Amino acid sequence: MRREIPMAITTLTGLIMIIVFFVPRWEDWSDIFLKWFTVIAGFALVLGAGSLLLVNLNKISRKASGWGYNVVLIIGLLATAGSGIIQGIGPGTMFDFIFVYFFTPLSATMFSLLAFYIASAAFRAFKAKSLEAGLLLVTAFIVMLGRVPIGEMMWNALPFAQSIPLTEIIEKWIMGCFNTAGQRAIMLGASIGIISVSLKILLGIERSYLGGGD
């Protein structure tokens, strides 16, 4: 019964979502299900917060290595939630202050790491160790060149460049043909994979998401 009822709910919900996609009279049911999901996710957030507290309090009580970070997290969690609950979240509140002066800059800091990581990943990816890697390097070089103003300037200085604009090569040939074809092939394969997984879930063949692997 632990398997049958969840599987019945999954199959039914999946079937309903497929039916309402084709039946206009029932189309708003998909919105209703999404609302149900939001409500369930709202309650599950309590579980999430509980898990966060338990894990971190446990580490603090054990004085596990780096337990100071857990203290900071608990203080941050309680201060943010508390200020929001007591004062509200409008402009000028403590919650707003934490959001603007702590959360936003910290998020931006994490995001800005991406620029450096792209450089380090590109450095490794473009090592011309084989013919394929060499082709990748040359293609990447041309695309990068075409995307910076100095690249176009350098290209235009070449004697034959006037007849072949660099942007044409990049936009229409490399990005329009090779890149788009590759991306579409991946998307096509992924879409069929999605249909396959969905069908397996609906038919009850794929049950590992319920736990246990089969």
Tell me the window of 93-101, 119-127, 155-163, 165-173 that interacts with other proteins (CB under 8 A). 119-127
Residue closer to other proteins by CB (options 100, 187) is 187
Contact between 70 and 60 (Cβ < 8 Å): yes
Cα 149 to the chain's mean position, in Å?
31
Tell me the window of 13-21, 89-97, 146-154, 158-166 that interacts with other proteins (CB under 8 A). 13-21
Contact between 9 and 202 (Cβ < 8 Å): no
- Does 25 help bind other proteins (rule: CB under 8 A)? yes
Site for other proteins, residues 137 to 156, rule: CB under 8 A: none
- Does 32 help bind other proteins (rule: CB under 8 A)? yes
Tell me the window of 2-10, 82-90, 92-100, 158-166 that interacts with other proteins (CB under 8 A). 2-10
Q: How far apart are CA 5 and CA 47, in angstroms?
A: 22
**Residue count, binding to other proteins (CB under 8 A):** 80
Q: How far is the CB of 179 from other proteins (least distance, A)?
A: 10
Residue closer to other proteins by CB (options 85, 190) is 190
Residues in the chain: 214
- Does 206 help bind other proteins (rule: CB under 8 A)? yes
Residue closer to other proteins by CB (options 121, 177) is 121
Residue closer to other proteins by CB (options 136, 145) is 136
Stretch 155-174: interaction string toward other proteins, x if CB under 8 A: --------------------
Among 35, 39, 45, 100, the residue binding other proteins under the rule CB under 8 A is: 45
Six-digit token string for 121: 């990943």
Cα 15 to the chain's mean position, in Å?
27
Q: How far apart are CA 22 and CA 20, in angstroms?
A: 5
Helix (H) or strand (E) holding 78: helix 67-87
Q: Which residues contact 10 (CB under 8 A, 6 or more apart)?
A: 201, 202
Q: How far apart are CA 179 and CA 171, in angstroms?
A: 10
Q: How far apart are CA 214 and CA 210, in angstroms?
A: 9
- Does 178 help bind other proteins (rule: CB under 8 A)? no
- Does 16 help bind other proteins (rule: CB under 8 A)? yes
Amino acid at 187: M
- Does 214 help bind other proteins (rule: CB under 8 A)? yes
